[in-house]
């Protein structure tokens, strides 16, 4: 009887391990100080070996008013960081920016170096084929067909190049990007990640930048997703130096979820978020990870303290709650 129990336990263990091996792994990187150690990059490259890595903005801090070469130099510092080259080799990068790698704190379409910054971004992140030289921003999208036949869509928004000042009539995207976004949402996909440099579900009052500060543009986004019948949308954002999950019930015709994960080598005092369902996690050296467990029809989001190996946050999003 004891032998039967051991054999059964072993079979279940290896079955679970095989199921884990079939998961799609996606790391999230953002708010990275290029002049400080970043052991998370090494941990992601060597221990996780993700299929994809999302760079959600403030990938370096390169603020400048009049020297575009400064932005390029800071990205070259990142390029030399331990773990970066290995992570680039072992996973597919999807990249957008926020204000500090765009070039100036809280900057938008008025930024004097925005075109120079765009070209630096295209070259450094090897996105010349994804982002046409003449595009008014760094937004782009792809549908990845996975080995299991599932279609995984990444939509990388640009909330800087065309961003108005916040206010009742402000728009973070610009009309050309809105038209493009509608076309992307109509494409067939089994699961979609919409990536924005600053937060989407965060409500007022807040001292942070957020979509709610741009008139009715957040509702416009929600309505567009619902009108295009785009199922399985999950928002991924950055900007703050901690990790959290937000949820608003029914906003997309199904529940809207936002995974905000940034500050991979820094932290700060968390703000308030009325729709927060996990976190805030202020781990300094963190490795946020989304594991899409297709067989179990769920996204398992975790954060790990890479200095201790401790799992500091865990949250599951069942496919049924995102319209699938």
**184 pLDDT higher than 50:** yes
Q: Provide the whole-model pTM.
A: 0.93
pLDDT digits (tens, 9 = 90+) for 118-155: 999 999 999 999 999 999 999 999 999 999 999 999 99
Per DSSP, helices labelled H in 149-306 are 175-185, 217-227
Average pLDDT of every residue of the chain: 94
Residues 6 or more apart whose Cβ sits within 8 Å of residue 28: 53, 54, 56, 236, 238, 259, 261, 262, 288, 289, 290
**20 pLDDT higher than 70:** no
CA neighbor of 131 nearest in space, from 121, 116, 117: 121
CA neighbor of 203 nearest in space, from 191, 190, 189, 218: 218
Domain edges within the chain: 23-322
CB atoms within 10 A of CB 181: 21
Distance (Å, rounded) from C-alpha 31 to C-alpha 280?
16
CATH of domain 23-322: 3.60.21.70
The pLDDT of residue 147 is 96
What is the arrangement of strands in the sheet containing 151-156, beginning at the earlier edge strand? 140-145, 151-156, 191-196, 233-237, 256-261, 243-248, 276-281
Q: What percent of the chain has pLDDT over 90?
A: 93
């Amino acid at each position: 009887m004891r032998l039967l129990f051991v054999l059964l336990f072993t079979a279940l263990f290896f079955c679970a391990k095989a199921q884990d091996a079939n998961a799609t792994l996606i790391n999230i990187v953002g708010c990275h100080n290029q002049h400080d150690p970043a052991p998370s990059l090494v941990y992601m490259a060597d221990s996780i070996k993700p299929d994809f890595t999302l760079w959600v903005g403030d990938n370096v801090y390169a603020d400048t008013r009049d020297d575009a070469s400064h932005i390029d130099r800071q990205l070259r510092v990142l390029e030399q960081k331990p773990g970066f080259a290995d992570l680039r080799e072992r996973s597919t990068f999807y990249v957008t920016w926020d204000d500090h790698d765009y070039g100036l704190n809280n900057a938008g379409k008025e930024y004097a170096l925005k075109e120079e910054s765009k070209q630096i971004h295209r070259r450094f992140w090897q996105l010349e084929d994804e982002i046409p030289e003449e595009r008014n921003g760094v937004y782009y999208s792809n549908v990845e067909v996975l080995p299991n036949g599932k279609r995984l869509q990444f939509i990388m928004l640009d909330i800087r190049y065309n961003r108005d000042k916040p206010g009742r009539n402000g728009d973070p995207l610009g009309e050309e990007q809105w038209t493009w976004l509608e076309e992307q949402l109509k494409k067939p996909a089994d699961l979609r990640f919409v990536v924005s440099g600053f937060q989407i579900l965060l409500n007022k009052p807040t001292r942070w930048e957020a979509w709610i500060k741009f008139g009715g543009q957040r509702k416009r986004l929600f309505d567009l997703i619902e009108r295009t019948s785009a199922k399985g949308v999950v928002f991924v954002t950055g900007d703050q130096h901690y990790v959290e999950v937000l949820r608003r019930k029914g906003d997309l015709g199904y529940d809207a979820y936002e995974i905000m994960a940034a500050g991979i080598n820094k932290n700060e005092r968390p703000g308030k978020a009325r729709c927060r369902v996990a976190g805030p996690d202020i781990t300094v050296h963190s490795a946020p990870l989304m594991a899409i467990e297709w067989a179990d029809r769920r996204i398992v989001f975790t954060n790990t303290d890479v200095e201790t190996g401790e799992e500091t946050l865990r949250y599951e999003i069942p496919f049924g709650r995102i319209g699938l």
